[in-house]
Amino acid sequence: MKQTKIVASISDLRCDVDFIRQLFEAGMNVVRMNTAHATADGLKTIIKNTRAVSPYIGILIDTKGPEVRTTGCAAPIQYKTGEMVKIIGNPGMDTTHDIICVSYHDFVRDVSIGANVLFDDGALGMKVVNKDEDYLVVEVQNDGELGSHKSVNVPSVRINLPALTEKDRANIQLAIDEDVDFIAHSFVRSKDDVLTIQEILDAHHSDIKIISKIENQEGVDNIDEIIDASYGIMIARGDLGIEVPIKRIPGIQRQIIRKCILAKKPVIVATQMLHSMINNPRPTRAEVTDIANAIYSRTDSLMLSGETATGKYPVEAVRTMASIAEQAENDRLGENNDIAIPLSEHRDVTEFLAKQAVEATESLPIKAIITDSYSGRRGRLLAAFRGPYPVMAICYKERTARLLALSYSVKAFYQHERSSSSAYFFAALRMLIHEHFIGNDDMIAYMSSSFGEGKSSTFLEINKVRDIFTKADEYHLPNFVDK
């Protein structure tokens, strides 16, 4: 089985239960909802249908963040190199050939002469040659077409938009009401953007986790404080490849993955991973290599966007990504080229035991690491050390199992029985054997706490499954009773 997780974007126009089930069975772990076009009712339908398929599929909702887009136009507009047009900040006015309107009122104030303005993910470029109080004069840099509500990027220029729009706030409230698992916040520039959302979540006593999308130079520059403030990071290579020189993207990707692993936080690589499969049943060789390289760098998760949201071959795209991931993981382990992940500066007993559990798999024939998990921290720490075998996280809450859907190698399950630590552990073992995750002749490592759920880890033990069952009367765990 693959250990790298897959996030799949789903549109409310194609989100029936059978479709989501096919994606799940093909290897999808998390559903991503893009709020750019979906209605509130559409988002609720995606959530309802996802939950009907499995309680273990994580659900992630995007916010748009400080994003600028063009306004609507009657029909796509054609531009020729050398034409001179104006740009104004007027979200209530339609765009015409001669006047391009954008969604941010103060766009003209923030952009200077000499800046490059890129539309529609860089497909159309214009250069600012003059500036008036109310408009920019720009020269078209290439032949191209501009449709309605297309992205606007100004590389290396800070656009002073607030971290959240009113639509973002409405979608965050919907996420809270519907008990979504993750909020992926776009264009995060600093930890303050993250804390703006966290304050809203805290006010509603919500346990939703924030994934920060890195999409501009400011986000790259402030990556350390953003990682500290976030549950996880998404390397959103689409806008990032427009905002910074595209040749820098591979290096930035490797750097951010490394920083997230060291911080023991999940990281997602996103955008155009299998872009050709939007229209074709098979990927390009370059796409296969791109996925493999992200796995060689040890990302937690990979994301599909248009491939599953609007593409012709969505299930095939997930199945293809899962197959590539499994092969790349085997190739990486076969070369034995992994660099050891160090303990963090402020390590505790839980982190120390997690590292020892993973390192034990290199010296002993351990086939799985099992842990019980209340918040998911044990599972995430075990994932961060990137062992060769799966981590089986038996969770006290269904939500915890979904939060671990982004973490490398973790297979998370919700276990009902809690009468004692021994009963809990034996019930979990029986379930894992029944589901064929482990066998009676396998050796396992078990990491837990003597003090019960939600407490710091205190022990790590290694046993053969058969011995645990055949010597059950002699087998003792530090006991606890659920309160």
Burial 130-165 (b: 16+ CB within 10 A, else e): ebeeebbbbebbeebebbeebbbbbeebebebebbb
**Annotated catalytic residue: which of 2, 5, 64, 69?**
69
**Annotated catalytic residue: which of 63, 271, 361, 371?**
271
Q: Mapping DSSP to helix (H, G, I), strand (E, B) and coil, where does residue 267 land?
A: strand
289 is annotated as an active-site residue: no
8, 25 contact by CB (below 8 A) = no
Q: What is the largest CA-CA distance in the chain?
A: 85
CA nearest neighbour of 350 among 322, 321, 375: 375
CB atoms closer than 10 angstroms to residue 166: 8
166: Cβ contacts below 8 Å, ≥ 6 apart? none
CA nearest neighbour of 118 among 231, 6, 211, 245: 245
109 is annotated as an active-site residue: no
**Annotated catalytic residue: which of 131, 213, 237, 332?**
213
378 is annotated as an active-site residue: no
306, 277 contact by CB (below 8 A) = no
**Annotated catalytic residue: which of 32, 332, 399, 402?**
32
Task: Give the chain's count of helices (H) and strands (E).
Answer: 17, 22
CA distances from 349 to 444, 447, 448 (A): 20, 11, 11
404, 380 contact by CB (below 8 A) = yes
Separation between Cα atoms, residue 136 and residue 150, nearest integer Å: 18
The kind and range of the H/E element at 88 are: strand 84-89
**Phi, psi (deg, nearest 5) at residue 333:** -70, -35
271 is annotated as an active-site residue: yes
Residue positions annotated with a catalytic role: 32, 69, 213, 271
